[in-house]
Amino acid sequence: MSNKSLHIANQTTTCYHCGEYCIDEILYADEKPFCCTGCKLVFEVLSENDLCTYYEIENQPGQPQKVSVANDNRFDYLDDTDVKTKLLDFQNEEVSHVTFNVPMIHCASCIWLLENLHKIHQGILAGRVDLVRKKVQVKFKHQEVSLKEVVLVLSKIGYEPRLNLSDVEGKKRSNVDRRLIVKLAVAGFCFGNMMLFSLPEYFSEAALLGNGFKKTFNYLNVMLSLPVFFYAATDYYKSAWLSIKNRNVNMDVPIAIGIVTLFFYSLYDIFALHQEGYMDTLGGLLFFLLIGKLYQQKTYETLSFDRDYKAYFPVAVTKIVKGKEEVSPLSKLEVGDLIKVKHGELIPADSILISGEGYIDYSFVTGEEVPVIKSKGALIYAGGRQKGQSLTLTVQKSPSQGYLTGLWNTEAFQKEKDHSLVSLATKISGKFTFTVLLIASIAFAYWAFQGQFSIAVLSFTSVLIITCPCALAMSTPFTLGNTLRVFGQGKFYLKNAQVLEKMAELDAIIFDKTGTLTDPGLAKVSYAGERLSQDSKAIIKALVNESTHALSNRINVWLGDIDKSEVTHIEEVFGQGMKGVYQNQEVKLGSAAFVNENREHALVGGNRVFFAVENVVIGCFYIQSGLRTGIGQVVDRLKTGRHIHILSGDQDHERTHLSKVLGNEVIMKFNQSPADKLNYIKSINDKGYATMMVGDGLNDAGALQESHVGVAVTDKVTNFSPASDAIIDASVLDKLPDFLNFSKLSRKVIKASFMLSFTYNVVGIYFAVQGLVSPVFCAILMPISSVSVILFTTITTNYLSYKQGLKSKII
């Protein structure tokens, strides 16, 4: 009995490299079993370089290597000078640095192996892994090893980099502003030292220092305040100036006024009045404000909300030049070029099919999950993926001018998102600023009228200082920042705080169907016709086992773990079905036309796949897209106070089923192209609705951009997703109503924190208008107010998220 049949009987043999069951013939190396030649090759490479410690760090740490890396010409484009220049992070006369996206990184063994690349090739100096971002930086001597050879080394050990067009278009970026980190460091250093120099003042022991030391400490505080005032606070000055310039008042206006007032009055207090000033308070204010900003940005360091088609397109394409194949960078593809597209590869540009039979999967472009047939002479749009034999095509449009890229030239992608939903903090800050200025002016006028000009100046500046909106300013970013963190822990990632505020105002939600409401893994398969015998099931099993079609895969799962019959001459007629010969009889599995079936069937809707023997139809499989678990309840909860729409690129064969599950009041539109979806959202927006679009593919990109809030659904947040305001993991889509409800609760938390902040300000104003504010009182009250607001917002949001079921514990 063969190793293969032994495995089928016992299901016990697992691959030494990747841990998967050895479904095909078991391969052996050094008496260890492997599921495929790829895994065996990786083991041999590691063994030759004495790197088998890789297997000791983790139990079966590898990834299955079903595809051989022997086809070296796939990476020929990396020898192109232009491509290398754009991919490299750094290069001098001897050393080059490059950073790759490697999705296969997942454990300690991966890190260990990639940081020991120098043992595999002496030209590689070092490798450094970022596990969270799935990145690896490689430093190598380009005179000893080329960029292409580095990629081949990574591929041979099972860590082939994912390279796409955006990598060579200069799109690399960091989501966290590095200047913000530097400013925070400056503010923190200065604030800490200011507090040390001011410590005697807090305990009324300044007299013990003597007048000379006291002045020295004050002057040192002035020196430390200069980088805080002239560098760390510059973002607030710019924001406040732009706001005033546009005849608006945002939250940064009172912050900027407070900073300027604190600084200049402290200078007056120190040099004119010979007092201690408020420089320590200024340092503390900037330090806490910048922490709030970083707190928000750091959560989203690994995500990208601005991806476009370039993150989906390949770097290179196979061109046919004088009858020979050569791999060329996509940027050098021109109209009229002949290209070859193999099974599973993307069509990079709108092209005419010259030879071969196109079986194009447009699911990521149009949303239609069933591939379409294209014959010789047909126009094939960019973005489709070929399923089947290789195609030869002639390019009709450059990649930058094709149908798919045309989506990114629409008006929706050229304009900024509508910000008509004004921030709650901005609304309040405007009134707050004018109120503070009014109170300060009244206090100044009162004391000046009494003839006490010095007290008038002191009360005016004291009101501005004591009501410096640090607590008010931090209540919003810390509440929203903590809410964003809670959402992130729940696998719902928002681009910024403005998205959260918009979510609280939504009254129309639009869903894509395929991949968003439906889960291919939950597809429902029914059968109608003559009862299938075990022989018939075994025949069908043999046919679907040889097919890559989505419908065949679903039938295969429905049949379960049964033995297949010996069917010969199996052939897949792409777009139509499968056929073969069993005991001298022709068997077919496919469309009605393929099996010559013209009768009406009771089963309607969904996709139908017929089984026939010798042109006699035995029965029909009815395959219905599987809705995600609990999606009916999700839509029901979202209906409260909102309109629900469904846009789909599919045919309307599931309208009846969807209406039954989701309700007749849900508005459904089928056969929608990407442009149709975008225009539909625009028409809803024009009626005054605040819209949220929830989709997963490039066909939804325009609609996601046009809506007030665009949410991209994905199974892996670090994988490709179209440009959006938010990214939600598909596994938590059922919690979308909870996220929307919590966005409303967060506004209530902000209002409550405002009341707490106003309480402190009222107390401060009471003393300030009387000219009774001392540096000790100011220094104590303001930090207490800031810390109390931070604690209040953090604890409250954590508690409410726990009550909503978005967190497993409060802290």
**DSSP states of 544-563 as a string?**
HHT---HHHHHHHHHH-S-P
Q: Is residue 680 part of a domain?
A: yes
Q: Which of 571, 592, 624 is the last residue of a domain?
A: 624
Q: Which of 740, 757, 782 is the last residue of a domain?
A: 740
Render pLDDT for 285-338 as a digit per residue (tens, 0 to 9): 788 778 766 765 654 454 444 444 555 566 677 888 888 878 777 777 888 888
**What pLDDT is attached to residue 296?**
52
**What pLDDT is attached to residue 697?**
61
**What pLDDT is attached to residue 717?**
47
Q: Is residue 784 predicted with pLDDT exceeding 70? A: no
Fill in the DSSP letter of residue 533.
Answer: P
CB atoms within 10 A of CB 450: 10
Write the burial class of residue 265 (CB in 10 Å: 0-12 exposed, 13-18 middle, 19+ buried): buried
Beta-carbon contacts of 758 under 8 Å, excluding residues fewer than 6 positions away, are: 472
Render pLDDT for 124-172 as a digit per residue (tens, 0 to 9): 888 888 776 678 888 898 888 888 888 888 888 888 887 765 555 554 4
Render pLDDT for 745-755 as a digit per residue (tens, 0 to 9): 888 887 888 78
Query: For residues 516 and 369, is the Cβ–Cβ distance under 8 A?
Result: no
Beta-carbon contacts of 437 under 8 Å, excluding residues fewer than 6 positions away, are: none
The sign one gets for the Cα dihedral 320, 321, 324, 328 is: negative
Which of 31, 51, 34 is closest to 110 using CA atoms? 51
Give the torsion through C-alpha atoms of 14, 18, 20, 26, to 10 deg: -50
Q: Where are the alpha helices (DSSP H) in 11-80?
A: 37-48, 54-57
Q: Is residue 302 part of a domain?
A: no
Q: Does residue 272 sit in the same domain as residue 209?
A: yes
Q: Is residue 706 predicted with pLDDT exceeding 70? A: yes
**What pLDDT is attached to residue 419?**
42
Q: Residue 183 CA to chain centroid, in angstroms?
A: 27
Q: Does residue 470 sit in the same domain as residue 509?
A: no
Q: Is residue 633 part of a domain?
A: yes
How, if at all, do strands 316-321 and 338-341 pair? Answer: antiparallel
Least confident range from 230-234, 400-404, 734-738: namely 400-404
How, if at all, do strands 351-355 and 32-34 pair? Answer: unpaired
Q: Is residue 293 part of a domain?
A: yes
Least confident range from 384-388, 413-417, 587-591, 774-778: namely 413-417
The sign one gets for the Cα dihedral 245, 247, 252, 256 is: positive
Which of 702, 725, 771, 699 is closest to 712 using CA atoms? 725
Q: Which of 596, 624, 652 is the last residue of a domain?
A: 624
Query: For residues 279 and 224, is the Cβ–Cβ distance under 8 A?
Result: yes
Render pLDDT for 472-515 as a digit per residue (tens, 0 to 9): 666 776 777 778 778 877 778 777 777 887 888 888 999 887 77
Question: Given pLDDT bands bounded at 50, 70 and 90, which one contains residue 190?
Answer: very high
Mean pLDDT over residues 670-690, rounded?
Answer: 85
Which of 80, 92, 101 is closest to 148 using CA atoms? 80
Q: Does residue 179 sit in the same domain as residue 290?
A: yes
Query: For residues 99 and 136, is the Cβ–Cβ distance under 8 A?
Result: yes
Q: Is residue 63 part of a domain?
A: no
Q: Does residue 440 sit in the same domain as residue 337?
A: no
Q: What CATH number is given to the structural domain containing 338? A: 2.70.150.10
Q: Domain of 634?
A: 492-518+629-740
Mean pLDDT over residues 10-16, rounded?
Answer: 64
Q: What CATH number is given to the structural domain containing 152? A: 3.30.70.100
Render pLDDT for 606-648 as a digit per residue (tens, 0 to 9): 678 899 998 888 888 888 777 787 888 888 888 888 899 988 8
Q: Does residue 510 sit in the same domain as residue 642?
A: yes
**Three-state SS string across 452-511, please?**
CHHHHHHHHHHHHHHCCCHHHHHHHHHHHHHHHHHHHHCCEEECCHHHHHHHCCCCEEEE
**What pLDDT is attached to residue 429?**
61
Could you give the C-alpha distances from 566 to 77, 399, 552, 557, 584, in angstroms and in order? 44, 45, 18, 19, 11
Please report which helix (H) or strand (E) contains residue 683, including its range: helix 674-686
**What pLDDT is attached to residue 751?**
80
Q: Does residue 184 sit in the same domain as residue 289?
A: yes
Q: Is residue 341 part of a domain?
A: yes
**What pLDDT is attached to residue 88?**
81
Q: Is residue 715 part of a domain?
A: yes
Could you tell me what percent of the chain has a pLDDT over 70? 75
pLDDT greater at residue 684 or residue 9: 684
Question: Given pLDDT bands bounded at 50, 70 and 90, which one contains residue 365?
Answer: low
Q: Does residue 715 sit in the same domain as residue 614?
A: no
**What pLDDT is attached to residue 651?**
66
String of DSSP letters for 598-635: -S--S--SSEEEEEEETTEEEEEEEEEPPBPTTHHHHH
Beta-carbon contacts of 257 under 8 Å, excluding residues fewer than 6 positions away, are: 240, 433, 464
pLDDT greater at residue 426 or residue 119: 119
Beta-carbon contacts of 806 under 8 Å, excluding residues fewer than 6 positions away, are: 486, 487, 489, 490, 735, 738, 739, 742
**What pLDDT is attached to residue 288?**
77
Task: Give the chain's domain count.
Answer: 7
**Longest CA span, the chain:** 116
Q: Does residue 380 sit in the same domain as residue 477?
A: no
Q: What CATH number is given to the structural domain containing 530? A: 3.40.1110.10
Q: Does residue 746 sit in the same domain as residue 734?
A: no
pLDDT greater at residue 588 or residue 457: 588
Beta bridge partners of 493: 727
Q: Is residue 418 predicted with pLDDT exceeding 70? A: no
Render pLDDT for 766-778 as a digit per residue (tens, 0 to 9): 877 877 765 445 5
Mean residue pLDDT of the chain comes to: 75
Tokens of 428: 């309040």
Q: Does residue 576 sit in the same domain as residue 667?
A: no
Fill in the DSSP letter of residue 420.
Answer: -
**What pLDDT is attached to residue 755?**
81
Q: Does residue 477 sit in the same domain as residue 589?
A: no
Cα 187 to Cα 166: distance, rounded to the nearest angstrom: 36
**What pLDDT is attached to residue 748?**
83
Render pLDDT for 28-71 as a digit per residue (tens, 0 to 9): 877 788 877 778 778 888 888 888 877 777 766 777 665 544 44
Render pLDDT for 441-452 as a digit per residue (tens, 0 to 9): 888 888 888 877
Q: Does residue 385 sit in the same domain as residue 439?
A: no
Could you tell me what percent of the chain has a pLDDT over 90? 4
**What pLDDT is attached to residue 550?**
67
Least confident range from 131-145, 224-238, 598-612: namely 598-612
Q: Is residue 304 part of a domain?
A: no
**What pLDDT is attached to residue 227?**
93
